[in-house]
A and B are shown apart, each in its own frame.
Chain A
């Protein structure tokens, strides 16, 4: 892809455009050239092994991480431009974190309304109304006066989604939203996300939930070693992967008991050259679980 081709940013339907994105932490290169575009109303799930850079990619999109190289456009405005009004662009992107990051000193309602009042300068009464509406949308209309510590993980994550939605964003970014939840609480959060997707929200979701990705995503990005290895509709990338690395990852995720000893370590070593992987246990066919 040539630059003139990809920098055609006049398309109103392009919500996130990423061009040749690089990110290193010191000597460790986490992203080595990511280029992709996410369109209005599209749900994109990013999958891949841990350490593949998928969370970093998401965090670069709203500039929680400063890219080392490359350009990112949000709604056709360059967020990587040093003169960009990053705070204003961030109000257009709701972000949901793995660890919820609710404000513990504020109630659920206040969590949802504080940025409406302080950033968007809304009238406190109106902010409250919007916050209440969004809490109801995630099924927590009656918990507005609870503090985060009084809620379960699943409820906290739904408040976090309501908090992001209260800003009336153009798009939503999800960073492994269910990874910190007890298994029985995952369903509520996923169903809220499914409703959002059905409502036409543009979504970029880093996730390990293959069933969710397969069902809800319009497009799946498989990342490994800081690049997009394979992308396409979920039935292709998850159902019938072309790349060997995708196949290996999926077989491990979908059927984790059938891993041969040492395989994960070898994969790890190939992704992180220079780091020593623990030696496989000789003669053991199930040793890899020990190193998980």
Chain B
């Protein structure tokens, strides 16, 4: 009886205030983090790790003029593919917005096809063009082959981005341009596209980052040493050293390219948010 009365008359269990709750959750998060760090420090053998992934003597051997060539080749493969993808992607975007049905269908089929298959297969297929069409070869081989293959794949992605950018330009802009006597083509070229590209610069820079990493697929092609890019170069060295250190160095080289780009994207996005606010 008294037990019952005590449970019924006892004040209800005090609920934490939302601020208190948030504070506790934060404390738990810090505790988990500290625990994880301590565990890692106790279990990981730093020397062993370094032996496998980052042997200093091999790092020194990796750094050399060949690494510079590979670094430069990665940039050349990427830049060429990006420029080609940008041009082709713009054409595809305009086709998708065309009044002529077949253009729209063709552009859609193209996009779906090249977005749907792995880039490595496209690259391999294009590397056999010389066999399929005897006497045919891409100019600046092997660069030409890579530019065309990766450029065609990235054009599929970029066309969607650019189309969205064009459609994000308000309709009033075209009306203003046309009311000044500009033709449809001139309105597109002088008024809409400059604004569209400003809108899509951040996502296109992201595409450039993806493309930089996709250029590593070049390793599947049989290349002369002068055509090696970072991944191929790193793999070859890693094989001859029987240690992965050169590939890790190559990976760090990618970061040298991609980190500034992603930083740039963040800056541009922040600037755009400020401008549109």
Interface positions of A (Cβ within 8 A of B): 62, 64, 87-88, 90-91, 93-95, 97, 99, 101-105, 114-115, 118-120, 149, 160, 163-164, 167
Contacts and interface: CB of A to CB of B under 8 A. Distances in A.
A114 B190 contact: yes
B178 A105 contact: no
A55 to B, nearest CB: 12
B178 A90 contact: yes
Contact of A90 (B181, B186, B191, B195): B181
A254 to B, nearest CB: 30
Shortest beta-carbon contacts, A-B, top 6:
A101-B176, A91-B181, A115-B180, A95-B179, A101-B172, A119-B181
B110 to A, nearest CB: 29
A167 B180 contact: yes
Contact of A105 (B172, B180, B195): B195
A93 B179 contact: yes
- Chain B CB count within 10 A is highest, among A62, A87, A99, A120, for A87
A238 B183 CA distance: 40
30 contacts: A64-B178, A64-B179, A87-B183, A90-B179, A90-B180, A90-B181, A91-B180, A91-B181, A93-B179, A94-B179, A95-B176, A95-B179, A97-B172, A99-B172, A101-B173, A101-B175, A102-B176, A103-B173, A103-B176, A103-B195, A104-B195, A105-B198, A114-B180, A114-B190, A118-B182, A119-B180, A119-B182, A119-B186, A163-B180, A164-B180
A133 to B, nearest CB: 17
Contacts of A87: 178, 181-183
Nearest to A95: B179
Interface in B173-206: 173, 175-183, 186, 190-191, 194-195, 198
B275 interface: yes
B262 to A, nearest CB: 25
Nearest to A93: B179
B198 to A, nearest CB: 6
Contacts of B179: 62, 64, 90, 93-95, 164
A167 B198 contact: no
* B interface SS class: helix
Contacts, number: 61
Nearest to A149: B275
Nearest to B198: A105
A115 B181 contact: yes
Nearest to B181: A91
Given A105-B195, A119-B186, 13 more contacts: A90-B178, A91-B180, A94-B179, A97-B172, A97-B176, A99-B172, A101-B170, A102-B176, A103-B176, A105-B198, A119-B180, A120-B181, A164-B179
Contacts of B190: 114, 118
Contacts of B170: 99, 101
Contacts of B191: 103
Contacts of A95: 175-176, 179
Given A99-B172, A101-B173, A149-B275, A167 B195 contact: no
Contacts of A93: 179
Interface string B119-152: 0000000000000000000000000000000000
A167 B181 contact: yes
B4 to A, nearest CB: 55
Interface string B8-48: 00000000000000000000000000000000000000000
Nearest to B171: A101
Contacts of B186: 118-119
A97 B178 CA distance: 13
A105 B198 CA distance: 9
Nearest to B173: A101
Contacts of B198: 105
B169 to A, nearest CB: 9
A42 to B, nearest CB: 20
Contacts of B194: 105
A95 B181 CA distance: 11
Contacts of A90: 178-181
Q: Which of A64, A105, A149, A167 has the largest number of chain B CB atoms within 10 A?
A: A105
Interface string B150-175: 00000000000000000000101101
Contacts of B178: 64, 87, 90
Interface string B78-113: 000000000000000000000000000000000000
Contacts of B175: 64, 95, 97, 101
Most buried by A among B176, B191, B194: B176
Contacts of A115: 177, 180-182
Interface string B263-277: 000000000000100
A171 to B, nearest CB: 12
A186 B176 CA distance: 21
A118 B182 CA distance: 8
Nearest to A166: B180
Contacts of B181: 87-88, 90-91, 115, 119-120, 167
B273 to A, nearest CB: 13
